[in-house]
Amino acid sequence: MRILCLGDVCTTSGYELVLRRLPELRGELALDFVLVNAENAAEGHGLWPHQADALLEAGADALTLGNHAWDRSELKDYIWTQPRLVRPLNFETSAAGRGKALITAQGGKRVLVVQLHGNLFMRKCRPLYQVLEEALQGQELGQTADAILIDVHAECNSEKQIVAHMADGRVTAVFGTHTHVPTADSQILQAGTAYQTDLGMCGPNHSIVGFDVAQALAILGGKRKGRVGQASGASSLNGLLIDTDDATGLAARCQRYHWSEAFASTPALP
Helix (H) or strand (E) holding 188: strand 187-188
Burial class (CB in 10 A: 0-12, 13-18, 19+), 229: middle
Annotated active-site residue 206? The verdict is no
Report how far residue 15's alpha carbon sits from residue 9's, in angstroms, rounded to the nearest whole number: 6
Q: Pick from 231, 223, 234, 163: which is nearest to 196 by CA? A: 163
Q: Pick from 214, 219, 244, 247: which is nearest to 231 by CA? A: 214
Report the Cα 189 to chain-centroid distance in Å: 19
Q: Pick from 168, 177, 200: which is nearest to 266 by CA? A: 200
The one-character DSSP state at 172 is S
Q: Pick from 257, 260, 267: which is nearest to 34 by CA? A: 257
Report how far residue 2's alpha carbon sits from residue 100's, in angstroms, rounded to the nearest whole number: 20
Q: Pick from 124, 250, 114, 139: which is nearest to 194 by CA? A: 250
User: Catalytic pick from 45, 50, 68, 206?
Assistant: 68
Helix (H, G, I), strand (E, B) or coil at 237: strand
Catalytically annotated residues: 68
